[in-house]
Amino acid sequence: MHKGMPLRRLALNMALLTLAGCGGGGSSAGGGGTQPPAPTYTVGGSISGLKTGGLTLASGADKLSIAAAATSFTLPTALAAGASYDVRIGSQPPRFTQRCAVANGSGAIGSANVSNVALSCVDHPALVGTLAGNGNPTKLPGTAAVFNEPQGLAVDDAGNVFVADRKNNRIAKITPAGVVSTFVGATPGQAATEAELAFGYADDITRDKDGNFYVVGNHMVRKITKEGVVSTVAGAAEIGYADGPGAQARFNTPLGITVDSAGNLYVADTLNLRIRKITPAGVVSTIAGSGARGAADGAALQASFNNPYGVAVDKAGNVLIADTLNHLVRKLGTDGTVSTLAGHDNGVDAGDGQGTQASLKQPSGITVDGDGNLYVAELGGKVRSISPSGYVATIAGQYAAPGSVDGLGSVATFTTPHGIALDATGKLYIGDPGAGRVRKIAEQ
């Protein structure tokens, strides 16, 4: 008996282990077994009419980018029975392309996947018209040219468009009805005074919140009050590169200018391959560009550009740059670094798409709206938009089809769209020097 005791204890221990493995022998009331996970269900639905990219959907913490021409979607997060969902538009497709709406977007999860959310999209194309210009920069007998290489544009609060009419050596004014007059400089077809001739040429123009205009041309930055009084802010009629007080600063063919809400001016100093800043006190500094030709991103003063033509500033203080011969749109962030927002320089025409997957062709003019949408005029013949999410879309125009045809979207043609401006209602204006016209784009 004594020698058998270890065997009985072994048998007892084995029995206890067997009970524990089956969930028995424990002290908890309900047993200690692992419960199966609760079932979860997906939320999705159909998409009709979508052609372009840039659309995003949101529901709770989910954010889903929808590819161009998609016909269905499923949100990434599965939900348990009883959970609520609320599918909504996170961001619409780019302006002047399409608008989308959601039906059956909200509810509670039952005992099956949700598949009846319906997303429908309809076209909202750009309608391109001619605001002013006769397309004839030479003086026909009995007819004075209206424009001779209209480039940069600015719009006042009343909807009047002010045009840097480059080879006519003037700033022209166009009313919303299309009536053209000379604001500053020489009037085509009329004898010019010495003061009018002294104005010289202008490449780009911007307007501040007080109604004053600023113009780049002839290696200078000039101010024009709303009464038409002209003064020099910075630079001189000579090529150079120097920072410092306005009269000491030098530029080399600056082609773009913009102004922020604090009155700081930003200049695309094109042939110096730099971006310059002018404070309200008139002090000029270099804020981006090493002076070397290239497309390097990184710290602002080590970054490189290739003939930047256009410049804009958003409400966050980021400076947006049309880097023309690199076929890129770049951003100088408030952290002092330059990055590439859109385009690539590999010679492949990839059309529309996300950021650097899209292709651009000599972007020149650039402007930005209050929602962060960028609008870009390309010398190659198109007008493009870049959404806050970085999607590049074609608003109007075609490559390799120079002309001045009015119409919807890609039916319309441009010759060399250069300047671009936005009015308070969201209409775009394009200075097309090759066609001698100023065009207007409205959402249909």
| Strands annotated E in 77-145 | 79-80, 84-86, 88-91, 98-103, 106-108, 114-123, 126-132
Residue 128 and residue 439 in contact, taking contact as beta carbons nearer than 8 Å: yes
Residues 6+ apart with CB under 8 A from 174: 131, 132, 160, 161, 162, 163, 180, 438
CB under 8 Å to 376, separation ≥6 — which residues? 310, 322, 329, 360, 363, 365, 366, 383, 384, 385, 386, 420
> Any idea what DSSP says for residue 317?
S
Which residue from 362, 367, 354, 355 is spatially nearest to 382, judged by alpha carbons?
Answer: 362
Contact call for residues 341 and 357 (beta carbons, < 8 A): no
Cβ-contact 163, 183 below 8 angstroms = no
Q: What are phi and psi of 7, to 5 degrees?
A: -70, -40
Reported as half-sphere exposure (CB side, CA atoms, 13 A), residue 47 has a value of 23
Tell which residue, 159, 211, 203, 238, has the closest CA to residue 428.
159
The tens digit of pLDDT for each residue in 7-28 reads 444 444 444 444 344 444 444 4
pLDDT, tens digit, 9 for 90 and up, residues 281-299: 999 999 999 999 999 999 9
Task: Give the strands of the sheet with 382-386, arranged side by side.
Answer: 353-354, 391-397, 382-386, 374-378, 363-368
pTM value is 0.88
| CB-based contact 266:331 (threshold 8 Å) | no
Written as one letter, the residue type at 122 is V
- Would you give the DSSP letter of residue 40? E
Residue pair 254/237 in contact by the 8 Å Cβ criterion: no
Q: What is the CA radius of gyration of the chain?
A: 31
Contact status, residue 305 vs residue 313, Cβ threshold 8 Å? no
pLDDT in tens, the chain (444 residues): 444 444 444 444 444 444 344 444 444 444 557 888 899 999 999 999 999 999 999 999 999 999 999 999 999 999 999 999 999 999 999 999 999 999 999 999 999 999 999 999 999 999 999 999 987 665 544 455 689 999 999 999 999 999 999 999 999 999 999 999 999 998 888 888 888 878 889 999 999 999 999 999 999 999 999 999 999 999 999 999 999 999 999 999 999 999 999 999 999 999 999 999 999 999 999 999 999 999 999 999 999 999 999 999 999 999 999 999 999 999 999 999 999 999 997 767 879 999 999 999 999 999 999 999 999 999 999 999 999 989 999 999 999 899 999 999 999 999 999 999 999 999 999 999 999 999 999 998
Cβ atoms within 10 A of the Cβ of 246, count? Answer: 18
